[in-house]
Amino acid sequence: MKWLEFILSLVSRFLNGNKEGTSNLLLDTVNNLTTNHEQTFTNQNNNSISISELFLQLDKMGYYKYTHPSRLEEVKKEDIKNDYFSGWDTGRIFLADAESLGQHGVADFFKYYDDEMKGTLEKQSVEEFLKNQNVIINVSDEHRDTDGYYIIINGCKYEIYSEKEINEDWWTLSSVRCFSIINKLLKEAGSKERIYALADGNDQNAIFLTEEMYELINSCNYLQEKSKPRNIGNAF
């Protein structure tokens, strides 16, 4: 009805010789339509799901499929309450201290798990997680000295940092290259899971997510930025 009234108004003004009024009415209409479109687009961009909705959607995506059944409901509640990804009980989060990784610690990272979690909760290691993705980790050599740090995995040599890089930020280099090795192997195995960093330095953890999970988490404006996973690059 409003569009009909608008058209009749235009015709009436034109027939009465009020061409300037007709032109102004058209311009005002176009401007209003443009403004409304921009506002709608802006509002859509500013929309953000709540924390509870975030974890509900992650659950539907399979985020908790590696969580031990005895802890499943409790872990879900903890994630929503704490407003960050802190629970190692999800089976996706692992300690990844950047300093330890750089100090001849990449091989240990694959095998490490929290002893207190062993047994009743069937805490798994990174290596065990990767096995579930059809990735086998076979470390045949690992060497760190004044000439740098390298590791041989499945017969392939990976340089964690070179002799020239020892005086650089080898904490970050070690994290980037360790995670890059894992992502390379995951991709080759056809897995949709990828490894990302949570926090950094001595507080750094590793979290395994699909790309869809990663994008959903980072789109949530209600989640603290420091709590969001980071893609720390691809070296290989």
With a cut of 80, say whether residue 177 has pLDDT above it: yes
pLDDT tens string 213-224: 999 999 999 888
pTM of the model: 0.77
d(CA 168, CA 230): 21
With a cut of 50, say whether residue 236 has pLDDT above it: yes
With a cut of 90, say whether residue 185 has pLDDT above it: yes
pLDDT greater at residue 209 or residue 26: 209
Domain edges within the chain? 2-46, 51-227
pLDDT tens string 104-145: 999 999 998 655 544 444 568 999 999 999 999 999 999 999
Place of tokens 């409003």: 2
C-alpha distances in Å from residue 23, one per residue of 11, 12, 15, 40: 12, 13, 13, 26
Cα–Cα nearest to 30, from 14, 10, 44: 10
Give the mean pLDDT of 51-62. 93
Tally the C-alpha atoms within 13 A of residue 200's C-alpha that lie toward its C-beta.
Answer: 13
C-alpha distances in Å from residue 187, one per residue of 38, 41, 133, 205: 40, 35, 10, 21
With a cut of 80, say whether residue 72 has pLDDT above it: yes
pLDDT of residue 41: 33
Helices (H), the chain: 2-15, 19-46, 51-61, 72-82, 98-102, 106-111, 126-131, 170-188, 211-218
Give the mean pLDDT of 166-172. 92
Confidence class for position 7, pLDDT limits 50, 70, 90: low
pLDDT of residue 120: 42
pLDDT of residue 211: 97
